Amino acid sequence: MATVLVLIGIDDTDSYTGGCTTHVGYLLAKEVLRRWGEEAFLDFPRLVRLNPNIPFKTRGNAAVALALEVPEGDVEEVWRLALDMVKNNARREGKTDPGLAMAVGEVPERARVIYKMALTQVVSRGAAERAGLITWGGRGVVGAVAAVGADLSRSTFELIAYREGERAAIPAEVVRLMEALTYPFTFHNLDGRRVLIQPRGPDPVYYGIRGLSPPHLLLAKSILEAHGYKPAGWVIYRTNQATDAHLAHGVILAEPTPYSYYRVRGVVVEARRVAGRHVVGRLDNGLAFVAYRHLGRLASELERCVMCDVELYGGLKPRFGQLFLYVERAYVLGRYAPSPSRCPYCGGSLESLGRDRGWRCRRCGVVFRSRGVRWLYDSSIAKAVSPRPGEWRHLLRPPGLDVEVAGFFSPRSVEWIS
């Protein structure tokens, strides 16, 4: 029987009080595996992070997708299965407004454009519904369509383990041992003594380990299990996390727009701590920015960076009648420093003749009515400044991370779900 490519995306099934979109994707993948077998999966399940500045997101603004190859006559059954899975497992409360999308055969170009826009902007539900996919549901349709159209040519992996009952806290010492045996093929595990692989919310996730290599993720899981931290189930997702996908693929608008991702270059003309906590500043183009205290070195550097030429990256949010850029990373390109003008004839230094009497060159004696000020540009201080690891946004690529190796793995070469 002829087979056909099916990509199905799911989004917005969680809420602040529970649930997890990745868990719905896990349950769907398990059922597809049971009915059609492992040969139905063309790739690992996909975890697609989108613009985290969206005001009506629930938590991390992630969608999931499955890339499948099934008998042509089973396409409708796949759709019904996914629809039932979403209806039965979505947390319909608060902001939750689940959506489902499916492409049969080639993915329409419009869906790929929706992904690029959803990385950095607010995308309307109407635009997503016109992308040429089969859709169902509410606002989650946007993320579902974006997940189907996602470009994961550069990717990483995350092994997400799920729990039944209470979430037992994993000590920093165990995570440090795990990292010692798997780094750099796993990353973003610790921030000092703070464990980063475990969430704190009411969702069913036990832990999530990010990495570049599924075999190393499995090794990391086995180390945790050897210390008694065994999950009820787990799955390895291919993901756009830690790849700078929003910079590589996202559509970044030229003008500041609420709730969009933005990058801007300018000179810091003001920066100060607000009540000893967060840093609030302003660029010479008038754009205000905020660097949260818990960003660590990033906030401290910007506080000391008045008259620095900087490039700032972050999300734009309206506050107090204006837009603020909430900084997530910065590049210091140089600093402007005032330097007294010298004699334009001989280059000698100038001395004051008294108030309102002008300036005289010490070398050639020429008198000037006024003295200009030159600005010297010091590029020797150029550096990239990132927040502490515990504050990295999902899409931000950590310094020095080589994401190219992740493309060599397929679900047929390694165990990926249980």
Last residue of a domain, one of 108, 136, 151: 151
Q: Which domain holds residue 213?
A: 156-243+399-407
Count of domains for the chain: 3
DSSP state of 14: -
pTM of the model: 0.90
Lowest-confidence segment of 121-125, 203-207, 272-276 by average pLDDT = 272-276
Judgement on whether residues 232 and 284 belong to the same structural domain of the protein:
no
237, pLDDT greater than 80 = yes
The mean per-residue pLDDT over the stretch 233-254 comes to: 95
Q: What pLDDT score was predicted for residue 399?
A: 83
- What number of other Cβ atoms are within 10 A of residue 18's Cβ? 13
Judgement on whether residues 41 and 160 belong to the same structural domain of the protein:
no
Judgement on whether residues 143 and 223 belong to the same structural domain of the protein:
no
- Domain-located, residue 129: yes
Q: Could you give phi then psi for residue 75, rounded to 5 degrees?
A: -60, -45
The mean per-residue pLDDT over the stretch 282-300 comes to: 92
- Domain-located, residue 59: yes
The mean per-residue pLDDT over the stretch 142-163 comes to: 96
The mean per-residue pLDDT over the stretch 246-272 comes to: 95
Judgement on whether residues 10 and 142 belong to the same structural domain of the protein:
yes
- Domain-located, residue 346: no
Quick: pLDDT tens for 349-388: 888 888 888 888 889 988 887 766 677 888 999 999 989 8
Judgement on whether residues 387 and 264 belong to the same structural domain of the protein:
yes
Residue 162: which of 323, 283, 21, 12 has the closest Cα?
Answer: 21
Q: What pLDDT score was predicted for residue 413?
A: 82
145 three-state secondary structure? helix
Token output for 185: 């093929």
Q: What pLDDT score was predicted for residue 6?
A: 97
Cα–Cα distance measured from residue 207 to residue 201, given in angstroms and rounded to the nearest whole number: 11
Cβ burial, residue 62 (10 Å; 0-12/13-18/19+): buried
Q: Which residues pair with 373 in a beta bridge?
A: 340
- Domain-located, residue 367: no
Cα–Cα distance measured from residue 253 to residue 286, given in angstroms and rounded to the nearest whole number: 17
**Mean pLDDT score across all residues of the chain:** 92
315, pLDDT greater than 70 = yes
Judgement on whether residues 182 and 258 belong to the same structural domain of the protein:
no
- Domain-located, residue 303: yes
- Domain-located, residue 417: no
Cα–Cα distance measured from residue 339 to residue 353, given in angstroms and rounded to the nearest whole number: 19
175, pLDDT greater than 80 = yes
Judgement on whether residues 17 and 140 belong to the same structural domain of the protein:
yes
Q: What pLDDT score was predicted for residue 406?
A: 61
Residue 81: give its domain's CATH number.
Answer: 3.30.70.2200
340, pLDDT greater than 80 = no
Q: Which residue shows structure tokens 């009411």?
A: 202
Q: What pLDDT score was predicted for residue 272?
A: 93
Residue 189: give its domain's CATH number.
Answer: 3.30.70
Judgement on whether residues 382 and 260 belong to the same structural domain of the protein:
yes
What percentage of the chain exceeds 90 in pLDDT? 74
- Domain-located, residue 351: no
- Domain-located, residue 27: yes
Last residue of a domain, one of 151, 181, 200: 151
Residue 329: give its domain's CATH number.
Answer: 2.40.50.1010
The mean per-residue pLDDT over the stretch 155-167 comes to: 95
The mean per-residue pLDDT over the stretch 120-144 comes to: 95
Q: What pLDDT score was predicted for residue 358?
A: 86
Judgement on whether residues 138 and 272 belong to the same structural domain of the protein:
no
CB of 392 within 8 A of CB of 327?
no
Judgement on whether residues 13 and 131 belong to the same structural domain of the protein:
yes
Residue 119: which of 263, 299, 13 has the closest Cα?
Answer: 263
Judgement on whether residues 50 and 103 belong to the same structural domain of the protein:
yes
What percentage of the chain exceeds 70 in pLDDT? 98
Judgement on whether residues 162 and 142 belong to the same structural domain of the protein:
no
296, pLDDT greater than 90 = no
191 three-state secondary structure? strand
Strand pairing report for 322-340 and 288-291: parallel
Quick: pLDDT tens for 13-61: 987 777 899 999 999 999 999 999 999 999 999 999 999 999 888 777 8
Q: What is the dihedral of CA 366, 372, 378, 384, to 10 degrees?
A: 180
Helix (H) or strand (E) holding 33: helix 21-36
